[in-house]
Structure 1
Amino acid sequence: MATVESVKTKDKKREKYIVTTMKRLFKNKLAIVGLVIVILQIILALFAPFMTAHDPAAQNLANRELPVFSDGHWLGTDNYGRDVWSRIVFGARISLVVGITAVSLGLIGGTILGLLAGYYRKLDAIIMRFVDLLFSFPGILLAMLIIAILGTSLVNVAIAISIWSIPTCARIVRGSVLSIKEKEYIMAMRSMGASDLRIMIRHILPNASAPIIVFATMRMATAILSTAALSYLGLGAQPPTPEWGAMISQGQDFMWSAPHLTIVPGIAIMLTVFAFNVLGDGLRDALDPNMDLQE
């Protein structure tokens, strides 16, 4: 009976925490703006074929470099006559897919390393030295090195960015594990004979989820920006793939005759990175337990 009551109490506390977190988040107007932009981008990515009237790769040399608000091409066309709006919308799909894939892989690797390093003192030094080795490379240079080894493609871009994300995630998770594993309820679970795996998965990881969620949200901004940068350098998306960084690279030669070819994808990147960053800031504040004391 006591066990049932404790479970009910725990569920009520969890529900209260979720409600309180959502209230805090919705008080942050800037975070809500970011959330709206992210939702709109997800809608564009999911329903891209229904949001456009043109094939993003279809060329029409008779309609080259049309300006914005042209008839049938409200964001104009590029130097090959391809519809810029279609390429922006399908580019949103590519950015999200690569970003989500890279962040997910980085979270998996970083969380596993962080859990092991934080829980097992013998593994801590070995894993942290490996993490320090990854940190010794500037992030974008590490990604370029990995792509140089694996080859140029969006798949390899996602792999490179995920490897770049692992050390930061590992340190965040390790720090949380070091504080959580000394809690009384964790020590009680050990005394009851619970296995290390059960303790880490069922009790430590859920309580370390807040910083992981914040990291994942803000890392999406970094992943999207890095994807665009690598594609701009010719290491990511290859023509005629409608990727924002590649679009800027292809349009920079037409800055004077058709500036929208670089300005439009540049604005798309800026808005997306801004949205994920302010949403991550809002989540960090909303998930911070110390906010209760400040309020």
Structure 2
Amino acid sequence: MSVETTTAGAVQPTVSSKQKKKNNGFISVLKRLVSHRLAVIGLIIVIAQALMAIFAPLLTHYDPTHQDLANALLPAGSHGHWLGTDNYGRDEWGRIVFGARISLVVGIVSVVFGLIGGITLGLLSGYYKKLDGIIMRIVDLMFAFPGILLAMLIIAILGTSLMNVIIAISIWSVPSCARIVRGSVLSVKKQEYVMAMKSLGASDARIITKHILPNCMAPIIVDATMRMSTAILSTASLSFLGLGAQPPTPEWGAMISEGQAYMWQAPHLTVIPGIAIMLVVFGFNVLGDGLRDALDPSMKINN
């Protein structure tokens, strides 16, 4: 407010001061995140999966869908296959690497779509009292269905494919995100600077996008990180049930489903993709915990 009434010469110091505060805030958040040891471990796991997904073709010279029945069910380290082969002779390491790409892409896309829907509904519900009751009743109706059952219902209607898994997980993510954003909006819109912008005649769209949404980003970022682990686990669960990735797609859940028939003969077919899922879900969860603690200084960081 003071910036608008001061002279042009007085504006620059105020802007630089605000920028300095933002930089200091970012540094302090980063320091708190780094001091959270589990969060650092989670960040390393997430970065490792991202690098594995990006450079998948460089990490293996085997086609993850190529069948070599003469070398089926080889143990780890046999004939150049680091993690052995499956019942069709496909390289297990290659399928794990390319499976990381599928899990990451499905997780990111479904979370982004879910956030778009959840943020939109949360902003409208929290800011406009007339819409609050209607939107929240719709959200409550969606919460009445357990998440995995809702996803299965959507896939049963749309059909089995990874694209439909993305749609199902996106819809599943909307209600929880909407609730989180709504709570933040209800708190932020009572602040004095929001009331001041209203008194100056600022439009609702400007107030929501320029003043309310930026101050709701902390819980949104934490929810997005946590939601990634849920999306990856849900993708694996649906593929395991035959509702997601279809053979011969190298998806971790589908790999576990295919390998369970050979659990005693070749346990690596289920154990290795299971460990991959466990590590990635663990990584995103502890990273989300660290971000929550770092973005909220009032919370004590438990190392």
TM-score category of the 2 structures, normalised to the smaller one: over 0.9
Separation in structure 2 between the aligned mates of residue 114 and residue 70 of structure 1, nearest angstrom = 54
Answering whether residue 277 of structure 2 is matched by residue 269 of structure 1, we say: yes
Separation in structure 2 between the aligned mates of residue 18 and residue 123 of structure 1, nearest angstrom = 35
Answering whether residue 234 of structure 2 is matched by residue 217 of structure 1, we say: no
Amino acid in structure 2 at the alignment position of 1:290: S
Separation in structure 2 between the aligned mates of residue 190 and residue 209 of structure 1, nearest angstrom = 21
CA shift at 1:3, angstroms?
Answer: 4.2
Structure 2 unmatched runs, 5+: 1-6
Cα deviation code 1:129-186 (max 9, x no counterpart): 0000000000000000000011100000011001000000000000000000010001
Partner of 1:247: 255
Amino acid in structure 2 at the alignment position of 1:24: R
Partner of 1:66: 74
> What is the RMSD of the two structures over their aligned residues, measured on CA atoms?
1.4
Separation in structure 1 between the aligned mates of residue 89 and residue 196 of structure 2, nearest angstrom = 68
Cα deviation code 1:105-132 (max 9, x no counterpart): 0000000000000000000000000000
Amino acid in structure 1 at the alignment position of 2:285: N
Answering whether residue 291 of structure 2 is matched by residue 283 of structure 1, we say: yes
Superposition pairs of residues 190-209 of structure 1, within 5 angstroms: 190-209=198-217
Partner of 2:154: 146
Separation in structure 1 between the aligned mates of residue 193 and residue 153 of structure 2, nearest angstrom = 44
Question: 1:106 is matched with which residue: 99, 110, 114?
Answer: 114
Question: 1:256 is matched with which residue: 261, 264, 276?
Answer: 264
Separation in structure 2 between the aligned mates of residue 4 and residue 172 of structure 1, nearest angstrom = 36
Separation in structure 1 between the aligned mates of residue 132 and residue 14 of structure 2, nearest angstrom = 34
Answering whether residue 42 of structure 2 is matched by residue 34 of structure 1, we say: yes
CA shift at 1:195, angstroms?
Answer: 0.6
Partner SS for 1:208: helix
Superposition pairs of residues 76-225 of structure 1, within 5 angstroms: 76-225=84-233
Separation in structure 1 between the aligned mates of residue 212 and residue 298 of structure 2, nearest angstrom = 20
CA shift at 1:289, angstroms?
Answer: 3.4
CA shift at 1:70, angstroms?
Answer: 1.4
Partner of 1:24: 32
Separation in structure 1 between the aligned mates of residue 202 and residue 16 of structure 2, nearest angstrom = 21
Answering whether residue 83 of structure 2 is matched by residue 75 of structure 1, we say: yes
Separation in structure 2 between the aligned mates of residue 95 and residue 125 of structure 1, nearest angstrom = 36
Amino acid in structure 2 at the alignment position of 1:150: L
Partner SS for 2:76: coil
Matched residue count: 294
Amino acid in structure 1 at the alignment position of 2:277: I
Partner SS for 1:66: coil
Amino acid in structure 2 at the alignment position of 1:17: G
Amino acid in structure 2 at the alignment position of 1:277: N
Separation in structure 2 between the aligned mates of residue 159 and residue 7 of structure 1, nearest angstrom = 42
| Identity within the alignment, % | 71
Partner of 1:13: 21
Amino acid in structure 2 at the alignment position of 1:8: S
Separation in structure 2 between the aligned mates of residue 180 and residue 140 of structure 1, nearest angstrom = 33
Separation in structure 1 between the aligned mates of residue 216 and residue 16 of structure 2, nearest angstrom = 21
CA shift at 1:58, angstroms?
Answer: 0.2
Moved beyond 6 Å, runs of 4+: none
Partner SS for 1:25: helix
Structure 1 unmatched runs, 5+: none
